[in-house]
Amino acid sequence: MRSAFISQRLAVIFTTLLLSSPAGATLLTVRDADNGELLPNAVIEVHVSGAPGRPGVDDDIIQRDAAFHPHVSAVPVDSRIRFPNQDSTRHHVYSFSPAKVFDLNLFLRDTPPPVTFDQAGVVVLGCNIHDHMQAFIVISDATHVGMTEHDGRWQVPDLPAGEHRVRVWHPRLDDSHQQWHEFSINGADQQDILLTLTASPPPPSEPSALQQRFRDATQ
């Protein structure tokens, strides 16, 4: 259970590099406050007052080697996601999350019809056959939504000066600590805003030996 993990702190650093980045672009960096580790897979939403959210997109979440790929997705509201199975064993993908409850019956080497995610929120995916399989989809109605890369950074395009609401989500964040934060883009050459959040360490990863046995059994 996540509550059993020792609490850690995450720092979210928003950095505006108006000289080295394209005009209006904002470089956002997320790192662990305890050890300075740059954090990938942090979803960042930016709401610009009066601006609409992005239109929905078509995307895939693949099952391969008894795991979801990617582990975290960030998409606009009304996106359609397919769940191709590239394993030689069956999977049964489901979610009980309030943002989207769905259930894809057993399928093998197949791609069920896409699922439309029409409500903002975080959806946790599971597999009824493989308990260790888990993934997350963040559905956003924000003006901008993106995810940090392996270097813990994401660049927001076309962001005007002014006050903007920002929300950060990460798989290691306790839901009770997710909240909106305000920051401003004021035209300075560089602007840093430090936010301290509470997080739990990641759950143990699936042992590589077990994954290898799975590959051997399904080849």
Q: 73 — phi, psi (to 5°)? A: -125, 150
- CA distances for 208 relative to 105, 117, 199, 202, angstroms: 28, 32, 25, 16
Is the pTM for the entire model greater than 0.85? no
Instruction: Kindly state the percentage of the chain with pLDDT values over 70.
Output: 69
Q: CA 147, 78, 171, 45 torsion: positive or negative?
A: positive
CATH number of 75's domain? 2.60.40.420
Structure tokens at 101: 């409850």
What is the number of structural domains in the chain? 2
The residue with greater pLDDT, 192 or 143, is: 143
Q: Could you give the CA distance from residue 144 to residue 141 in angstroms, rounded to a whole number?
A: 8
Q: Are 61 and 124 in contact (CB under 8 A)?
A: no
Q: Is residue 8 part of a domain?
A: yes
Q: Tell me if 21 is assigned to some domain.
A: yes
**Within a domain: 119:** yes
Q: Does 207 map to a domain?
A: no
* 28 in a structural domain: yes
Tell me the C-alpha distance between 2 and 77, whole Å.
Answer: 28
- pLDDT over 50 (residue 72): yes
Domain that holds residue 188: 2-47+142-199
CATH code of the domain covering residue 25 = 2.60.40
Q: Bigger pLDDT: 70 or 179?
A: 70
Predicted local confidence at residue 85, as pLDDT: 92
Residues 81 and 151 in one domain: no
Residue 209, in any domain of the structure: no
8: left (phi over 0), alpha (psi -120 to 50) or beta: beta
Q: Which of 90, 109, 139 is the last residue of a domain?
A: 139
Residues 6+ apart with CB under 8 A from 108: 85, 88, 89, 90
**Lowest-pLDDT range of 116-120, 165-169, 183-187, 207-211:** 207-211
Q: What is the pLDDT of residues 36-65, one digit of tens each?
A: 778 889 898 888 888 999 999 999 999 999
Q: Give the neighbor-by-neighbor strand order of the sheet with 26-32.
A: 153-156, 26-32, 8-17, 190-199
Rank 18-32, 51-65, 200-214 by mean pLDDT and report only the highest: 51-65
- Give pLDDT, residue 216: 52
Average pLDDT in the chain: 78
